[in-house]
Amino acid sequence: MVHGGPDDLANEPVFHRDRDPSGARIGRRLFIDHGMGVVIGETCEIGDDVVIYQGVTLGGTGKEKGKRHPTIGNRVVIASGAKVLGSFRVGDNCNIGANSVVLREVPSNSTVVGIPGRVVKRDGQRVSDRLDHTNLPDPLIETFRAMQNEINELKLEIGRLKNPPKEEPEGVPVSAASHDNY
Ligand SMILES: CC(C)(COP(=O)(O)OP(=O)(O)OC[C@H]1O[C@@H](n2cnc3c(N)ncnc32)[C@H](O)[C@@H]1OP(=O)(O)O)[C@@H](O)C(=O)NCCC(=O)NCCS
């Protein structure tokens, strides 16, 4: 569906449009596969060779004025049910995962999944921003360790004060004394 402008085509399935008369700028060879329920906002810009599946919304958040819909780069795949909401850019060669809700700029060559959408792959490499639940830092343990170290230092210090190291007796140097014995 292309909506929001003078040629509002709401409720009418559109399988392929080269240019939206309502204002959206659509590049060459846009392919809308199973094109039901696809909404392309009025101020959207779409690059070349983009694939959009059913149920995709390229829409606004309702908080922006003027340009309020996304700009999609070249060779982007927007999988079924994905919502891309806001006036940011999705870079070239991106995959937007099925049912994700993308609310922020997406760098080129990225895969975004989830709600809210997050980059899980960039330039072919997995992005490891996952939470490692089994290895979370424990601030209490860290504090106890620091306190234990301090206690150990203090114990040593007290021990030194109670039993100061014995000093050598004053007088004839040891080396001279031992010479005299031979
Ligand atoms: C996102 C998509 C395009 C694949 O892109 P990709 O760059 O090849 O990404 P990958 O398959 O390597 O997946 C990367 C990670 O995202 C996860 N992921 C992929 N798609 C996801 C989705 N829609 N939601 C949540 N997580 C998803 C994968 O499990 C993987 O996680 P892992 O690193 O923990 O294993 C694809 O998964 C997708 O959504 N395809 C749907 C296409 C569609 O709409 N088909 C309908 C035809 S009718």
Q: What is the pLDDT along the chain (182 residues), one digit of tens a residue?
A: 444 444 444 444 454 443 455 688 999 999 999 989 999 999 999 999 999 999 999 999 999 999 999 999 999 999 999 999 999 999 999 999 999 999 999 999 999 999 999 999 999 999 876 666 677 778 888 899 999 999 999 999 999 999 988 776 666 555 544 445 44
- 52 forms bridges with which residues in the sheet? 32, 78
**pLDDT on residue 137:** 73
User: What pLDDT is stored for residue 39 in this prediction?
Assistant: 93
Comparing CA positions, the residue from 68, 69, 29 lying closest to residue 52 is: 29
- Residues 58 and 40: beta-carbon distance below 8 Å: yes
Q: Is the CB of 114 under 6 A from ligand 1?
A: yes
> Is the C-beta atom of 99 inside 6 A of ligand 1?
yes
Among positive and negative, which fits the CA dihedral 22, 53, 85, 127? negative
- Characterize the bridge pairing of strands 89-90 and 118-122: unpaired
Residue nearest to atom 36 of ligand 1 (CA): 97
The rounded distance, in Å, linking the Cα atoms of 177 and 166 is 20
Pairing of strands 83-85, 77-78: unpaired
Q: Which of 56, 101, 111 to mutate to test the pocket of ligand 1 (most atoms within 8 A of CB)?
A: 111
What is the distance in A from the centroid of ligand 1 to the CA of 98? 7
Q: Whose CA is nearest to atom 27 of ligand 1?
A: 113
Residue 142, pLDDT score:
86
What does the pLDDT read at residue 12?
Answer: 43
CA of 181 to the centre of ligand 1 (A): 90
168 CB burial (10 A radius; 0-12, 13-18, 19+): exposed
pLDDT at 146: 94
Q: Tell me which residue has tokens 């927007």.
A: 78
Q: From ligand 1's centre to the CA of 178, what distance in Å?
A: 86
Instruction: Report the pLDDT value the prediction gives residue 115, as an integer from 0 to 100.
Output: 96
